[in-house]
Amino acid sequence: MRDRGSFESMNFHGAESDDPLISLFTELVRIPSSSGHEREVMDFLTTRLRGLGLAVEESDPIEDHPEAAGNLYCRLPATKSGTPVMLSAHVDTVASEEGALPHPVVEEGVIRSGSRAVLGADDKAAVAAIVRVVEEIVHGSIDHGGIELLLTVGEESGLRGAKASSLEGFSARCGFCFDSTGPVGGLVVRSPSQKTIRATFIGRSAHAGVAPEQGRSAIKAAARAVAEMPLGRIDAETTANIGIIKGGEAVNVVAGRCQIAGEARSHDDARLEEQVTAMLDAISFAATVTEVDVEVSTIDEFHGFDIGGGNPAYDLAWRALEDAGIKPHAASTGGGSDVNVFILKGMSCVNLASGMENVHTSDEYILVESLRQLRRVILAIVARAAS
């Protein structure tokens, strides 16, 4: 349990804080921006950055409807020699139940959603800190070696914005994302690869009471397949899950169709292949013994990484954390983020913890102090890259 008594006493609702970072954060989280519906928040950010006299570009839309947006690119040309850096965060959030929206509440130094909605500190804590740092740099004429912003859409729906992004025009070869849970200071050094598996069993519908022998149950096939699969914690490096099963029309009909979908992750690509093969084998075995057809697809969701000392972004982030007076520590994750994609696209990129906790739930929260640390870390990254 955290000792709340040690946090500063600070209670308010909405954007009434006199700290511009906290105000910006609470303002951002009140703008709805579930994946694929980022238009309003992108317009807000574009206006804010253009208000600083910066050139802002939006491209790579991943959906085509009025509420959708593309990734936001913004460049601050270098004012002194140094290493240009990419700062990146995703603006989309997971959808909340029944479209509930946060009414952020700050109590005893902790920011919560104040409703059934997820707060959206994932990843708007990073968006707010990055934008605030850019404002401070522009207003304070702080020298830097070149800053390139990439604010992505569709991270939560499969890293789609990052996958659609183009890093070719960037001068930065070092990138920093702030999209990991846990106290500020964490640097993600390992992430697994992930594949998604979908299967549709196609049997034959029949009346369950009149002529069941004419039917071929797709539900029975799906159940058999799932029962045959190794799932859960496979080994220290590997996990697997079937998370969706859908099928059937009525209790008196032998189900003609049933779909299953699941995933496998591993820090070891060979183990991932073995696991996916075992799941596909279970699917075809089940289809054969239940005499149904099956259509299968597998998708490479993201590729894992394993970085550490000697990696330029990692080393710079480690030293910047120390500069900011925060103890760095290496962390591993079971999840993927835009960083997985940026590394694959050739960027030396590291994912830093932002202080967000209980993400993707209505209990999500972040400490005011974590947001302030995040700002200091980003300023320290910029300063170190320019030195």
Which positions are catalytic? Answer: 92, 155
Stretch that binds Zn ion, among 8-16, 117-125, 161-169, 362-370 (CB under 5 A): 117-125
Comparison of 58 and 122: residue with beta carbon closer to Zn ion: 122
- Contact yes or no for 99/328 (Cβ under 8 A): no
Question: In the chain, what is the straight-line distance between the N-terminal and C-terminal CA atoms, in Å?
Answer: 40
Minimum gap (Å) between residue 304 Cβ and Zn ion: 17
Minimum gap (Å) between residue 123 Cβ and Zn ion: 4
Phi, psi (deg, nearest 5) at residue 282: -65, -35
Contact flag: residue 148 with Zn ion (CB under 5 A)? no
Minimum gap (Å) between residue 376 Cβ and Zn ion: 21
Minimum gap (Å) between residue 38 Cβ and Zn ion: 13
Stretch that binds Zn ion, among 47-55, 75-83, 114-122, 218-226 (CB under 5 A): 114-122
Comparison of 60 and 123: residue with beta carbon closer to Zn ion: 123
Contact flag: residue 123 with Zn ion (CB under 5 A)? yes
- Contact yes or no for 175/198 (Cβ under 8 A): no
Minimum gap (Å) between residue 162 Cβ and Zn ion: 11
- Restricting to residues 46-75, name those near Zn ion by CB under 5 A: none
Contact flag: residue 92 with Zn ion (CB under 5 A)? no
Minimum gap (Å) between residue 90 Cβ and Zn ion: 6
Comparison of 58 and 179: residue with beta carbon closer to Zn ion: 179
Comparison of 216 and 338: residue with beta carbon closer to Zn ion: 338
Contact flag: residue 122 with Zn ion (CB under 5 A)? yes
Comparison of 17 and 88: residue with beta carbon closer to Zn ion: 88
Report the C-alpha dihedral over residues 27, 30, 36, 38, rounded to 10 degrees.
Answer: -30
CA–CA distance, 372 with 330 (Å, rounded to integer): 21
Minimum gap (Å) between residue 166 Cβ and Zn ion: 21
- Restricting to residues 170-209, name those near Zn ion by CB under 5 A: 179
Stretch that binds Zn ion, among 20-28, 113-121, 122-130, 341-349 (CB under 5 A): 122-130
Contact flag: residue 357 with Zn ion (CB under 5 A)? no
Amino acid at 246: K
Q: Between helices 39-50 and 121-139, what is the axis angle to 10°?
A: 10
Burial of 2 (0-12, 13-18, 19+ CB in 10 A): exposed
In SS3 terms, 164-212 reads as: HCCCCCCCCCEEEEEEECCCCCEEEEEECEEEEEEEEEECECEECCCCH
Q: How far, CA to CA in Å, does 330 sit from each of 63, 129, 315, 320?
A: 36, 22, 11, 14
Comparison of 187 and 229: residue with beta carbon closer to Zn ion: 187
Q: How far, CA to CA in Å, does 97 sit from each of 34, 115, 386?
A: 11, 11, 44
CA–CA distance, 236 with 232 (Å, rounded to integer): 11
CA–CA distance, 384 with 142 (Å, rounded to integer): 13
User: Hunting for tokens 């959708």 — which residue is that?
Assistant: 68
- Restricting to residues 211-240, name those near Zn ion by CB under 5 A: none
Phi, psi (deg, nearest 5) at residue 301: -75, -50
Comparison of 123 and 263: residue with beta carbon closer to Zn ion: 123
CA–CA distance, 246 with 222 (Å, rounded to integer): 9
**Residues binding Zn ion: what is the number (CB under 5 A)?**
3
Interface ranges with Zn ion (CB under 5 A): 122-123, 179
